[in-house]
Amino acid sequence: MGAGKTTVGKLLSQTMQLPIIDIDTEIQLEQQASITEIFANLGEVKFRELEHQMLLRVLQKDAVISTGGGIILSPENRAELTAANFVVYLKTQPDSFLSRLKGDTTRPLIQEKSAKEIKDLFESRAQLYENSAHLTIETDELTPQEIANQIQQYFQERKENI
């Protein structure tokens, strides 16, 4: 959350001339409801099922794919991501993403949580993200364009070495 996935994804989409697919957006379109409404009306378990099914579909496409932060909680999702062509973890320190998310009411899991609870949530997931990624980029001191450039360079090098 708040790491810049959407912004960096859009930049990569443009430079790599690939469509961008945001899993949360696709779920919202399919369900005709916001993530907050899906959580409220169907619950987190149902949302995670929808998220898994969407992941399986979008991984079949040649695209820049942006996932929600909780996708990593499922062992099945982690296995799919690890087996995917190229997964990047945009690592952002809690103080940075807390600053970016201040006042954001669109993320159900951070509503009414203290800064400590949100940091604990991040820390409980950090190793899962790192273990599932082919590349980890620490984003705190980088612009979205610098992050996109690093990803594209690494992707190109990786492609040449395959």
Please state the residue numbers annotated as binding site.
2-7, 24, 48, 69, 107, 125
Please state the residue numbers annotated as binding site for Mg(2+).
6
Cα dihedral sign for 35, 40, 43, 44? positive
Please state the residue numbers annotated as binding site for ATP.
2-7, 107
Please state the residue numbers annotated as binding site for substrate.
24, 48, 69, 125
